[in-house]
Structure 1
Amino acid sequence: MADGVIPAETEARPTERGLTYPFAGPPASGEAIAVTPDVLWMRVAMPMQLDHINVYAVRDGDGWAVIDCGLGINGTRDEWELLLAGPMGGDPVTKVICTHMHPDHIGLAGWLCERFDAPLVMTRLEYVMARMLLADTGKEAPESGAVFYRAAGWDEAQIARYRKEFGRFGMAVSPLPAAYQRIREGDLLTLGGRDWTVVVGEGHSPEHACLWREDDGIVLGGDQILPRISSNVSVWPTEADADPLGDWLASLERMKTVFPDDVLILPSHGEVFRGVQPRLDALIRGHHVALRRLERSLREPKRAVDVFPALFARPVGDGVRGMATGEAIAHLNYMLRHGTAVRERDADGVDWWRSTTKGEEAA
């Protein structure tokens, strides 16, 4: 076994909220846990509140297929150097597979692809969206973005910060290859002679790919099924009337019909776990509870920024204001689409939302 690989035979922890964690804890920096003899669970750090991302390597012939990469920053490159030389035994990367286009998942994809002359494997919408956002790097913020955030209730200082920070996607993403290999729902991706079925989810990102090895029940879940936190589901200025929460809930309901409860979920954040059915139920239930709180909150007209207390357990600071606003509008747009809320824009360009349900209907 390569240096830095911890055998799979570690002590399981007690079941928690219907989930079982079969390993004593996550891998340390520069180390890996052998989930199976041909699947490595590794972790790299991120300089933010969500301080890590899990990355995985699947044996593929004489090398490894890598699933997700971490942010495109120097610290992550240094961690990858340790992983490549240690747990991965100096063997080459044969493919770089990205579950979706967020910077913590694709940040070093281009660097790994170039270094090993390896193909990038993604769904089409994720690849195209990433290329679009990279093209915005360094550009001025569009006025439509200012209109969007003003409508949500941002003040002029907050909009000025949006303008200043626009186009930073590329600061944590190395240039992507000019070509890629497309995967889509239902495809079989063969790694090391074994098939992985592509299962697509929507809502957190436009065409998020999970990979399911049915012969032993391993699921590379990305951000689609996390054990302890719920993935951000947001509306962004590029598609102000989108309903990503509807897409997200539909995806979770569909996955309940796809994955048997005994699969082992390898998530992008948190720890490897079993208990996908109770976790899917909890994710669905959590959003419906939030929607009921939101309906009660909207008995009086409110802006998107006014409903944060109904949706989030802690105060929203400047660092996460964009994601919080996007998630609030995702819930509001869902209500609008289902006829449980209405929206009116005032003369200052601010949207005011009001519930159409009354009394016990919103309880």
Structure 2
Amino acid sequence: MSTSASRAALAAALTYPLGDTVPATGTVQWLAPGVGWLRMPLPFALDHINLWLLRDGAGWTIVDSGVATAATQAAWEQIFADQLQGLPVRRVLATHSHPDHIGLAHWLCQRWQVALWTSAGEYAFARMMSAALPGVDNAAAVTHFQRHGLRDPALLEQMSARKNYYPSLVPAVPASYTRLQDGQLLTIGERVWQVVCGYGHSPEHVALYCEKDKLLIAGDMLLPRISTNVSVFAVEPEGNPLTRYLESLDKFAKWPNDVLVLPSHGLPFRGMPLRILQLREHHRERLAEVVLACHTYQSAASIVPLMFRRPLDAHQMSFALGEALAHLHALWYDGVLQRVAEADGSLLFRLAQD
């Protein structure tokens, strides 16, 4: 079977028990007793995020928040008015620190006077990013991209202008939190969820698995139609996130095919083991393309067109460059590539010499 045919077969093997049905903004679609699906708008090309409402005894746990916009706040107020059955929110849980997942967490926690629950890595990163500390601010990102070959003046100008990008979507993070750790068992109402921490997409991403009911709140670790972004960022310039991400998938691959996966983007699906195979194949193909290109010296910027064959705006380019560098770093750490520094400090990669 050809590679493309294999991918098509894997995609067809996924099942979507709800079809194309999605909840309207401000409403809840119930997937199981006490498990509600919400969808909020995003101001990006990826225009939505799935959020989850879990019955928690005499109240509710919210999983992820959406970005800090008036539209998202209004949608939450509609949920509170129409869907909570007169019961309070008892906690807010964030799978990770990206703006669409934690942007309104501070407002939700204040609104209900409850704690934020997340991992230490995600909490720390969100605090750093929201405060735009040196090393995670816009200036550090632009320097990082220049070091890895970005020279386009228009893109550099657009990226330099995004000084308050993260703080505008995450204006505040709660001053304290309750820590979640890998392997921890978390009781929410009548269900027990296992905390599963994954790496590569974000510092210490939290997924939740309920073995009894075969439910997985996957966050961004497993998406049905697109591959999760895996990037090297300025704050960790020597990182190897692609290897960490692929290793993390092993934690999910052991669970059965009939688990209902609740992803942060796209539709709930079954067929998790096959989706993991598809993701591994996707990255194997990208790595093979990078190896072929690196018969001559390449930067992350020169690799981007091989991996993303469409025009990219500044927002998309920041993710594309980070992902191209993640693939270069995976091969570099494996000894397939060597890295050299130019006189101006820029970094290039080429096949290691025998």
Indicate the larger mover: 206-215 or 347-356. 347-356
Does residue 249 of structure 1 match 2:246?
A: yes
Cα displacement (A) at 1:29? 1.6
What residue number does 1:192 align with?
189
Which position in structure 2 is the counterpart of 1:10? none
Partner residue in 2 for 1:295:
291
Are the structure 2 counterparts of residues 141 and 33 from structure 1 closer, same or farther at C-alpha, using a change threshold of 3 Å?
closer
CA distance in 2, matches of 1:342, 1:129: 30
For residues 27-46 of structure 1, what are the structure 2 equivalents within 5 Å? 27-46=23-42
CA distance in 2, matches of 1:54, 1:233: 20
Paired residues of 1:202 and 1:248 also in contact (CA < 8 A): yes
Q: CA deviation at 1:81?
A: 1.2
Q: Which residue identity does 1:201 align to in structure 2? A: G
Q: Distance in 2 between matches of 1:138 and 1:115?
A: 30
- Amino acid in the other structure paired with 1:326: G
1:52: which partner in 2? 48
Please show how residues 82-161 of structure 1 align to structure 2 within 5 Å: 82-136=78-132, 145-155=141-151, 157=153, 158-161=155-158
CA RMSD of aligned residues (A): 2.1
TM-score (normalizing by structure 2): 0.91
Cα deviation, residue 66, structure 1: 0.4
Judging changes above 3 Å, is the alpha-carbon distance between structure 1 residues 146 and 53 closer, same or farther for their aligned structure 2 residues? closer
- Segments of 5+ residues of structure 1 without an aligned counterpart are 1-14, 359-363
Whether 1:17 and 2:22 are equivalent positions in the alignment is no
1:324-346 Cα shifts (integer Å, max 9, x gaps): 11111111111110111112222
Q: Structure 1's 200 and 140: CA in aligned 2 closer, same or farther, altered over 3 A?
A: closer
Q: Percent identity?
A: 38
Gaps of 5+ in 2: 1-9
Give how far 1:147 is off. 3.8
Q: Does the residue aligned with 1:274 lie in a helix, a strand or coil?
A: coil
CA shift, 1:172, in A, is 0.6
Which residue pairs with 1:4 in the alignment? Answer: none
Deviations 1:254-292 (A, max 9, x none): 3212x2221110110000111100001111111011000
Cα displacement (A) at 1:166: 3.3
Deviation larger for 104-113 or 19-28: 19-28
Matches within 5 A, 1:236-315: 236-257=233-254, 259-315=255-311
| C-alpha contact (below 8 Å) 1:141/1:163 kept by paired residues | no
1:64 matches 2:56:
no
Partner SS state of residue 52, structure 2: strand
Conserved? CA contact 2:134–2:140, under 8 Å: no
Give the TM-score, by structure 1 length.
0.89
> CA shift at 1:69, angstroms?
0.6
> Paired residue for 1:8?
none
Take 2:88 and 2:65, find their aligned partners in 1: how far apart are those partners? 15
Q: Is 1:215 aligned to 2:208, yes or no?
A: no
